[in-house]
A = this chain, B = another copy of it.
Amino acid sequence: MSEQDRERAEFRAVAERGKAAAAELAPLPRAAKDAALHAVADALLARSAEIVAANDKDVARARDSGTSEYMIDRLSLSEERIAAIAAAVRQVATLPDPVGESVRGNVLPNGLELRQVRVPLGVVGIIYEGRPNVTVDAAALCLKSGNVAMLRGSSSAFDSNTALVGAMQDALRGTAVPRDAVQLVPGTSRESVKHLMTARGLVDVLIPRGGASLIQSVVRNSTVPVIETGVGNCAVYVDAAADVDMAVDILVNAKTQRPSVCNAAETFLVHADIAEAFLPRALAALRDKGVTVHGDERVRAYGDDVVAATDDDYHAEYLSLDIAARVVDSLDEAVAHIRTYGSGHTEAIVTSSQPAAKRFVALVDSAAVMVNASTRFTDGEEFGFGAEIGISTQKLHARGPMGLPELTSTKYVVTGEGHVRG
């Protein structure tokens, strides 16, 4: 058997065990799942020295290959970080169980009782980069929602992920949740990702988490249904009727409070009627925070340090202290800009005009639309979901921050007394 065939066979064996585990896990009550989550948290704490030692190998390999200190920091685990990860698992245990919730229910005219109830999706594949904490977070959210997690992390974190999944699986042995409810996709080759992406019938849904190129690759090559997440080219539109102080605060917060995340602003658009009042103050405030503005000519008229914007700037998800800017002559021109360049994640309007707010909300086709609030609020924790598996930028199944209910499907249960169709 070639190495490739061996890896494929190994993948199928793991996926089939995962599918079998999904059938066992789905009907478990909340108490059984919560007990398993606490067992997982206990095991992570008890075995943190071993996990840190495995992580040290990943870190050493990363250093040898010249990885940046920023990426090394993201990769690194310490006993303290593992304690935080374990605490997050216990937090998931406190959240309500979405499984079994009735989302619709009525008695039909013929007396049939119709109920639509939440059920787990089954086997959820997660393909992700970088940080090993995602391994545990994703597993915990899947477990709580009755789903088996098939995890495919970055090869740079392979030793860490193997140790984390090993600890979780061992912890599950003593619980009602099957050990195979948490699985690591075998191998670190590109082929192993392909096996996961084409495991239609064994894997119910794939959620890629990471950069744009990872997500696009999964979307294009997967035959398993995918929930597209994360790419955020978010815009702040400062309307003619904006409060200038508020607009400056929101823009600076949206750009600089945490520039590396998907809900940070990457573009701002200013109505021409307020440009004179807004731009000098906004450019000064951004300059103070070290932001480089890439503007059109009308923006550049207000600041010598504004760099000329290209079309690429308006398309860019910088994830850095850069922002693209343009003056527009109307709200509709702002909406048209967003339709052309936006990623459908989050857009904000700053305005005191109710009709302007209403029109912006109606016309902007994004997962979240903010009125007089920072784009940074598009987040499962901020929305009160208690946890988040990612932010969907597609329209099918889930859109915006995804909490536990978004990790479920539904089933119709119809109860009769011998009903037949006439």
Contacts and interface: CB of A to CB of B under 8 A. Distances in A.
Contacts of A257: 420-421
Given A205-B396, A395-B204, A416 B370 contact: yes
A414 B369 contact: yes
A416 B378 contact: no
Given A384-B108, A421-B377, A412 B369 contact: yes
User: How many copies of the shown chain assemble into the complex?
Assistant: 2
A306 interface: no
Interface residues of A, number: 70
Contacts of A253: 420-421
A74 interface: no
Interface stretch (A39-47, A220-228, A283-291): A220-228
Interface in A312-363: 339, 357, 361-363
A134 interface: no
A98 to B, nearest CB: 13
B418 A376 contact: no
Contacts of A394: 225
Nearest to A409: B395
A406 to B, nearest CB: 10
A367 interface: yes
A290 to B, nearest CB: 18
Nearest to A366: B411
Nearest to A257: B421
B112 A395 contact: no
B249 A396 contact: no
